[in-house]
Amino acid sequence: MRKGVNGSSAKRKRIKKSSSDWFGHFATSASACVGSRWAFAAALLVIVLWAVLGPIYHYSDTWQLIINTGTTIVTFLIVFLIQNTQNRDARAINLKLDELIHAIDTAHNQMIDIENLSDEELARLSQRFERIRSECLRREKKSA
């Protein structure tokens, strides 16, 4: 049992991970691998090897095409993996923030799930909080 922020006692619930999201698991693992120093070292080694082979293949069009095609394909695939991982991370962070907003009694619960608002609605909300910030700064200057 733990004591909640708002004073209520609640058992800490562990959310069970789904094993049906094979792409999500793959994308997370692949992103971790390609973001490692070993992946960077391997990519650097491939570039050095390609450069060393340049004189042997007389800097031919095929020699250039190999690196261009290879890097394009790898980049194309990695973009989707990284985007999937970032989307999932952003969703998880938003849910954690929603939980914090919900748990704090003085927080504005209408702030929960605002990432789904339109750009215009977000702009209005941003202007509202800019006015609040300006008012706080003005009060701070008066009291100083």
C-alpha 28/C-alpha 84 separation (Å) is: 8
Query: So what's the pLDDT on residue 67?
Result: 95
The arithmetic mean of pLDDT across residues 6-27, rounded, is 65
Residue-by-residue DSSP string for 64-130: HHHHHHHHHHHHHHHHHHHHHHHHHHHHHHHHHHHHHHHH-TTS-GGGTTGGGS-HHHHHHHHHHHH
> For residue 1, what pLDDT band results from cuts at 50, 70 and 90?
very low
Q: Which of 113, 79, 72 is CA-nearest to residue 96? A: 113
Distance, in Å, from the CA atom of 34 to the CA atom of 39, rounded to the nearest integer, reads 5
Tokens 């999937």 identify what position?
Answer: 84
Q: What does residue 25 show for φ and ψ, rounded to 5 degrees?
A: -65, -45
Query: Within its chain, how far is the Cα of 66 from the centroid?
Result: 32
Are 31 and 88 spatial neighbours (Cβ–Cβ below 8 Å)?
Answer: no
Please report the pLDDT score of residue 129 as a whole number: 87
Residue 112 near residue 101 (C-beta atoms within 8 A): yes
Domain coordinates in residue numbering, the chain:
23-104, 113-144
* Whole-structure pTM value: 0.62
pLDDT, tens digit (0-9, with 9 covering 90-100), for 29-88: 988 899 899 999 999 999 999 999 999 999 999 999 999 999 999 999 999 998 999 998
Q: Given this model, what pLDDT does residue 8 score? A: 44
